[in-house]
A and B are shown apart, each in its own frame.
Chain A
Amino acid sequence: MKTFKLGGVHPAANKLSDKAPIEVAAVPVVVAIPMAQNLGAPSKAIVAKGDKVKVGTPIGEPGGFVSSFVHSSVSGTVDKVDVVEDATGKKVPAVFIKVEGDEWLENIDRSTDIKREITLTKEEIIAKVKEMGIVGMGGATFPTQVKLMPPPTAKPQCVIINAVECEPYLTSDHSLMLAHPEEICIGVQILEKAMGVKKAYIGIEANKPDAIKLMTETAKKGYPEIEVVPLQLKYPQGGEKQLINAVIGAEVPSGGLPIATGALVQNVGTAFAVYEAVQKNKPLIERVVTVTGKSVAKPSNFLARIGVPIQQLIDAAGGIPEDAGKIISGGPMMGKAMPNTNSYMVKGCSGILIMKNDDARRKEASPCIRCAKCVHACPMGLQPNFLAKYAEKNMLDKCEEERIYDCIECGSCSFSCPANRPLLDWIRQGKPKVMGILRARAAEAKAKAEAAKAAAAAK
C-alpha cells in the first residue's frame, strides 16, 4: 500500500465516532459569525445593526486578495457587529445575528437531487467558488479561489483529494464520504475543470475501509478518471506534501509550493462544498464537525451552522465530562487547546476533542540526549532537535540553514521525543521570524531589481 517516504509516527487512532452518522445540529437563538475565518486578510463586515438577513446573505466581503466572503448561516436580524473570543481566547470582530425562523435565499437549491451536469466554464467556476466563500476545509482555510489560480509557472497535471483524515479522533471527512459519495465525485470533476486537468486521485487512509469501498464503487460507476488510492495508516499522511509524495511519488521542492509538482490538493470537505456552491448555488454556511473524546457521552458528527456556540455542540454530545482536562479545537496533534468554551463554530473547525486530564497533561521535560527519534520521525527530513534549540536561542541564521521554513508543524517530533521536550513550541517561535527575514530579503531584492531596470531604461 502506498505511503510517504520520510518519517511519520503512529498515534492511537481513537476513531470513537466513525460509526456515527451525520446529525444535523439545532439552530441556536443567537449566532456570532467571526469575520476572520480564513488564512490571509480577515473579511470586512458589510452589514450593520438592524439589517435583515436570510441564510446565504453575504455579511462579509474579502479584505484583500488572499481573503474570502462570509455568509449568514441563519435568517433573522443583525443584532450588532462586535468582538467575540476565538478558539485561543483572542478577541476578533464578529457579526451577531438574532435568529428568526430558517428562511433561505430563493436562489439556493435545497433539494437533495444530485445535479451531475457541470454547465459553468472554468472562469465561472473560479468566480463562483470565490462568491460562495469557499475555503480549505481541512483546517488551513486557505481561500480556494486563490489556490485555483496558481502562478503562471505552474503546470497543473492532476487533482488530489485529501480524504486521509490522519488526525486521531476526527471523523468528519469519513462521515461525509459515507453520506455524499457522488456529490464529492462531482465536486472533484468541477475542480478538474477549473484546473484544466483530466485526472484525479482520492487518497483515503486504510482505517476507513467502508469509505474506500463506497468511493471506489461510486467512481467506477460514473467517474472513471477518479482513482481512489488507499494509503497506509501513518501520521501525517494528510499533510499536503506527504499526500503528493504517496499518491504520485513526487517531492515538493524545499521552500516551494505543492503546485510545482503539478498536483492541486484539496480537502474532501472542500470538494463537497465546491459541488454545493457550483451546482446548488449554496454558500459555505455549515460543515461537518466531530465532537468526541474518551469520556464524552455521545461522540458524534454534527452538521453545524457557522456561528453556532461551541458550548451548544458540546452539550449536544452529552456535555463536558467530569474528568475533562483540555478542550481542543481540531485534533490532538495540531489542534489548539481552548481556554474556555466562549467561542463559536468557524469554517476551519473540523473537530472538538475533549481530552481526559491524564492524557492531556504535559510531562516534565528533561535534557536532549541526541537519540534522534525526532529526526527519524520528521516527515520533511529536518532535524527538530537542532531547530528547536536554535529557535530557543534565537540563532535565526542557523535556523534558516537547517531549513526551518520547510517545517509543516505536524508535531511528530514532540510526539516521538522520549524526553518530552517541547520541540514544536520552540520551532513555532523561530519559523515565523525566519520567514519574515526571507520575505524582507525577497522584497529588497525585488525593489533593487526594479530600480536597476528603471535606471537601465532611463539610460
Chain B
Amino acid sequence: MNVILLALGVLGVLGAIGSLVLYFVSKKFYVYEDPRVGQVEEVLPGANCGGCGFPGCHGMADACVKEKDASNSLGSLLCPVGGADCMAKVAGILGVEAGAAEPKLAVVRCNGNLECRPKLSTYDGVKSCAVAASTFAGETGCAFGCLGLGDCVKACTFDAIHMNPATGLPEVDEEKCVACGACAKACPKLVIEIRKKNAAKTPAVKRVWVSCINKDKGAVARKACSSACIGCGKCQKTCKFDAITVVNNVAYIDPEKCKACGMCVAECPTGAIHCTAAVQTVVEKLKAKKAADAAKAKEEAAKKAAEAAAAKAEAAKKAAEDAAAKAVDAVASKVEATKKAAEGAAAKAADVVASKVEATKKAAEGVAAKAADAVASKVEGVAAKATETAAKAAEATAKAAETAAKKVEEVATKVAETVAPKEK
C-alpha cells in the first residue's frame, strides 16, 4: 500500500514540476501571432504549393494580413489555386474590398512570325534566349523582337505560355495566366509586358496593344519585318483618348487610358496593332466604313478632278491659241528684221569686197608695173613673160574678188532663204 502511495506521490510531484516548467517556458518563449493570420489560413486551400510566391499557406496568410495593414487592400496577392472566390473570403475576414486590383495578363509584344520576319542566319548555340541575346543581334533583321527559344515558357509555373511552332512566337493562355510576371522577367528582349486584361467594363474581353517594340527607323524596321511598327503616328493622330505615344520610332498604348475602341487598329498600315476578338469585330466594321468612305471620296474627287481638268483644258487651249498667235507675229517681225539685217550686211560686205578688189587690183597693177619695169630693165624677153604673168595674176586676183563677191551674194541669198523658211 505504501509503495503504491509513494509511487503515486512521486509521479504526481514529477507531473507537477513538469507542468510548472512547461507553464513558465510557454510563457517565456511565447510567440505572438496576429489571430487574423490563423483565421485567413483557415480559408486558404491548404495545398502549400507556393504558387502565390510565399512559403506555404501560412506564409500567404501572413502576407495578406501585412498587406491589409500596409495598404488597406489585398494588393496584387492572389492564391492561384483558390482563385478569386478564395480571395473574396480572405477579404471578408480582413474587412477589405476584394478584387480591387484590376485583373492583368502577360502580353507578347511581337508579331514577327516566320512568314513576315524572315530569318537571315541560323543560330547554332544554346537554346536559351538569354544566351542568344548576349551572343548576337538575332537571326532576323530585327534586333528587338522575340528570339523564339522559350525562356518565357521555361519560367512559367502555371502552364500558361507556350511556343507556337508555326509562328515561332509564344502564346499566352488567357485562362491560366495569373500575371505573376515571371515570363516578363525572363525575357531578355523585354518583349512581354503585364497589361490590363480587359480595358472595357463589358464581360467580353477587350484589349488593344502595339505588338512591336522595334526602335529602328520605319524603313529599316519594315525591311526586317512586314508587320513592324514604323512609327508613322497615324494611330496617335486617330486616338481620341490620348492613349498613344510614339517614342523612338515605335508606338505605345497606355493601358490605363485605352478604351479599346479599335480605331487605331483600323488605321495601322502594317497591322502592328493587335486586339482581342471582341475588338476585332468592331475593327472590321470600322475598316468597312473606312473603305466605303474612301471609295465615295474617291468618286467625288475623281468627278471634281475631271471637271477641273476640263476647265483647265479649256483655259490651256485658249492660252495656247493666244500664244500661237503671238508667236506667229513675233516670228514674222523677226524674219523682217533678220532679212533687213542680212541685206544690209550683204550690201556692206559687197562694198567692202568691191573696195578691197579695187585696192587689190590697184596694188596688183602697181606691182605688175613695177615688176614689168624691173624685168624690162633687166631682160626684154623675160619682161614680156613677166608682164604676161603679172597680167594673169591681176586677172586671177580680180576673179577671186569676183567669186568672193559672188559668194557673199550667195550667202546673203542663203540667209534670206533660211530666214524665209523660218517663218514657217
Contacts and interface: CB of A to CB of B under 8 A. Distances in A.
Interface of A: 85, 88-91, 326, 336-337, 339-340, 360-362, 422, 425-426, 428-429
Contacts of A422: 125-126, 131
B137 interface: yes
B124 interface: yes
9 closest cross-chain pairs (CB), A and B: A89-B137, A339-B121, A88-B136, A422-B126, A425-B126, A90-B137, A425-B131, A362-B124, A89-B136
B124 A85 contact: no
B150 interface: no
Interface string B126-143: 101011001111110001
Contacts, number: 47
Nearest to A365: B126
B136 A425 contact: no
B121 A429 contact: no
A151 B125 CA distance: 39
Interface in B79-136: 120-121, 124-126, 128, 130-131, 134-136
Nearest to A392: B128
B131 A426 contact: yes
Contact of A90 (B124, B128, B143): B143
A89 B138 contact: yes
B126 A426 contact: yes
Contact of B130 (A89, A362, A429): A429
28 contacts: A88-B136, A88-B137, A89-B121, A89-B136, A89-B137, A89-B138, A89-B143, A90-B136, A91-B137, A326-B124, A336-B135, A337-B124, A337-B136, A339-B136, A339-B138, A339-B139, A340-B121, A360-B124, A361-B124, A362-B124, A362-B125, A425-B125, A425-B126, A425-B128, A426-B131, A428-B131, A429-B131, A429-B134
A426 B130 CA distance: 9
B267 interface: no
A85 B136 CA distance: 11
A340 B216 CA distance: 19
Nearest to B139: A339
Interface in B118-176: 120-121, 124-126, 128, 130-131, 134-139, 143
A91 B124 contact: no
A326 B121 CA distance: 10
A428 B143 CA distance: 20
**Interface SS of chain B: helix, strand, loop or mixed?**
loop
B216 to A, nearest CB: 7
Contacts of A425: 125-126, 128, 131, 135
A428 B134 contact: yes
Interface string B168-186: 0000000000000000000
B120 A340 contact: yes
Nearest to A85: B137
A394 to B, nearest CB: 10
A74 B12 CA distance: 105
Given A89-B143, A425-B131, A428-B134, A339 B120 contact: yes
A361 B139 CA distance: 16
A228 B125 CA distance: 40
Given A91-B143, A340-B120, 16 more contacts: A85-B137, A88-B135, A89-B121, A89-B137, A326-B124, A337-B136, A339-B120, A339-B121, A339-B136, A339-B138, A360-B124, A361-B124, A362-B125, A425-B126, A425-B131, A429-B131
Contacts of B136: 88-90, 336-337, 339
Contacts of A340: 120-121
Nearest to A361: B124
Contacts of B120: 339-340
Q: Which of A89, A337, A426 has the most CB of B within 10 A?
A: A89
A90 B134 CA distance: 10
A347 B134 CA distance: 22
A428 B139 CA distance: 20
Contacts of B139: 339
A408 B159 CA distance: 39
A292 to B, nearest CB: 20
Contacts of B128: 425
Contacts of A339: 120-121, 136-139
A374 to B, nearest CB: 16
Nearest to B124: A362
A88 B137 CA distance: 6
A76 B125 CA distance: 42
Q: Which of A336, A339, A340, A362 has the most CB of B within 10 A?
A: A339
A265 B136 CA distance: 30
